[in-house]
Amino acid sequence: MTQFAHREYPWQAANSARRPMQRTRVQPARWVRTFSTIVTASDLVTVIMATTATHLTWFGFREVMVSAPSSIGVNYFTVSMLLVVAWMTVLAASGSRDPQILGTDLTEYRRVINGTLLLFGAIGVFAAMTQTDFARGYLITAFPLGLLLLIVSRWSLRRWLHVRRRRGDFTFRVLIIGTMDNVRELMAALAQRPDAGYRVIAAFITDVSDPDPIPGVRVRAANRGSLFEGLQDVSADTVVVVGSDDLSSATINELSWELDPGQQLVVAPQLVGVAGSRIHTRPVAGLPLIHVETPSYDGPKRFLKRAFDIVGSFLLIVMLAPVLLLTIILVALSSPGPIFYRQERIGLSGAPFMILKFRSMVTGADSRLTALLREQGTADVPLFKLANDPRVTPIGAILRRYSLDELPQLFNVLFGDMSLVGPRPQVDGEVRMYDSKSSRRLAVKPGMSGLWQVSGRSNLSWEDSIRLDLYYVENWSVTSDIVILLRTLRAVIGHNGAV
């Protein structure tokens, strides 16, 4: 047999000169396979539970045949087993177990929902094409029950994963490449979300020869020549390149070839405050162009949000009617004065409206505010908060602790002055302190709850509050509203309620 001589191409020679022949390959994070297995097992148990419960509800232990023109009889026990297999296959094919989305954002839930819809849609098409008459009750029960159980199980696993990640487990080991300022900015952003699972272990700085040290992170200067050599010394499974003029597109492309199969390359664009749903990557002439959708506040989205507010506020008023009635009695008995507190706030497009609350302070509290703020030294600070406010009544402290004083704002929502979710409405004096950037908060209706309330409640700085409010304004959706409302419930129960 003829033996062919090994031939080394120029680009291979350059790489071999740059790195040793024997190289320790970086393996994928071990937790990825472990957690994927846990999620798969949980999905399997959940789907089996849903199909079994549906089967027993409609057919018990009887053998019931499917009505079909085919001469080959199929019973519903077989249908249930096939449904389990098909459901698991669709969940896998939809990418709902992709390690990059597990425990991070709504993409995981969206893929579970889309996969389930696709499955039952396909069953409907199959039934129509083959004239198979599946029991409608069976499908109507299996679909919502299975979907609900899947969402609950994924949510439970996500909570468990977040706890582990806050302890430093189940995380990606990250190497950041970029300028010193960009590296610090990205690290600060990742530090605010430890549940995202990115633990920075090293940073290659491209704009200074002697970078400042960063506690707990291996820092070194790197140019194009030394960049690839340093990759061999860092056991990172994720390499993040953050905006750097020193790295050309050719260098980044070459970097992707240098990484092992166990490593992933992430390029962080310099886009701040833009949700992933607004970002679309489209290849044009071989270039990955990033398209960012312009924020939209009109049309179907605004109609859908208003419909959500009307239905949601009405249902909450009906369900919370006993709580509202009890609170009215407690406020009336607590101290002299009106039951409700009304104050002018600034709403959509700067229009004033009267916000409604249960009174939680003594009568005439507003007249004492300016003097108390001066004593505290925050008279010129927006989003003012008084520490240990002496004007709050004993009953008012309880109401504010659990945000019960905010419940009358459900009527503000029902009548159209407010939304269930949005930037917190502020008084005219605070709005006058807005700059052009902050004034974008007024592009949507103010809300009973919002992103900054569930991200830190009253403990956030003015800058952080504005940043979160603007993020919501530019990226809002009904889905995000639902998530914020659920997080609001958890924040009220577990933290200080006054906002």
| Distance, C-alpha 160 to centroid of its chain | 16
Q: How many CA atoms lie within 13 A of 366 on its CB side?
A: 6
242: nearest Cα among 221, 222, 270: 270
CB 62 within 8 A of CB 149: no
Rounded to 10 degrees, what is the CA torsion of 349, 354, 360, 362?
Answer: 120
3-class SS letters over 274-290: CCHHHEEEEEECCEEEE
CB 336 within 8 A of CB 363: yes
Q: Which domains does the chain have, with CATH numbers?
A: 30-166 (no CATH), 171-270 (3.40.50.11930), 300-494 (no CATH)
440: exposed, middle or buried (C-beta count within 10 Å: 0-12, 13-18, 19+)? Answer: middle
CB 355 within 8 A of CB 436: no
Report angle CA 115, 118, 119 to the nearest 5 degrees: 90
| Distance, C-alpha 281 to centroid of its chain | 20
Residue 164 CA to residue 158 CA, distance in Å, equals 10
Residue 370 CA to residue 384 CA, distance in Å, equals 11
Q: How many CA atoms lie within 13 A of 115 on its CB side?
A: 23
Whether the model pTM is above 0.85:
no
> Where would I find the H helices in 242-356?
249-258, 300-319, 321-334
Tell me, what's the pLDDT at 6? 39
CB 446 within 8 A of CB 347: yes
CB 79 within 8 A of CB 137: no
Q: What is the pLDDT along the chain (499 residues), one digit of tens a residue?
A: 444 343 443 434 444 444 443 444 555 567 888 888 999 999 999 999 999 999 999 988 888 887 777 656 788 898 899 999 999 999 999 989 887 788 777 788 889 999 999 999 999 888 888 888 888 888 899 999 999 999 999 999 998 998 888 888 888 888 888 888 888 888 888 887 888 888 898 888 888 777 888 888 888 887 666 666 667 677 788 888 887 666 777 777 777 777 777 678 888 776 555 555 566 566 665 666 666 665 666 677 788 889 999 999 999 999 999 999 999 998 888 888 889 989 899 998 889 999 999 988 877 666 666 666 666 555 555 555 555 677 778 888 888 888 888 999 999 999 999 999 998 888 887 888 887 778 888 888 999 988 877 775 556 677 777 878 888 887 787 878 888 888 888 777 665 444 4
CB 345 within 8 A of CB 409: no
CB 458 within 8 A of CB 385: yes
Instruction: Report the SS3 class of residue 299.
Output: coil
* Cβ-based neighbour number of residue 413 at 10 Å: 25
Paired strand residues for 280? 291
Residue 164 CA to residue 386 CA, distance in Å, equals 36
> Where would I find the H helices in 60-199?
76-93, 107-130, 136-166, 180-192
Report angle CA 128, 131, 135 to the nearest 5 degrees: 85
Residue 190 CA to residue 175 CA, distance in Å, equals 12
3-class SS letters over 361-390: ECCCHHHHHHHHHHHHCCCCCCCCCCCCCC
Residue 12 CA to residue 386 CA, distance in Å, equals 67
Amino acid identity at 441: R
Identify the helix (H) or strand (E) that includes residue 220.
Answer: strand 218-221
24: exposed, middle or buried (C-beta count within 10 Å: 0-12, 13-18, 19+)? Answer: exposed
Report angle CA 89, 92, 95 to the nearest 5 degrees: 145
115: exposed, middle or buried (C-beta count within 10 Å: 0-12, 13-18, 19+)? Answer: buried
Identify the helix (H) or strand (E) that includes residue 346.
Answer: strand 340-346
Residue 289 CA to residue 331 CA, distance in Å, equals 58
* Cβ-based neighbour number of residue 207 at 10 Å: 16
Residue 128, both tokens:
């129509």
**What are the phi and psi torsion angles at 71 (to 5°)?**
-75, -15
Orientation of helix 76-93 relative to helix 136-166, angle to 10° = 40
CB 391 within 8 A of CB 363: no
Tell me, what's the pLDDT at 7? 40
Give the position of tokens 């309880």: 398
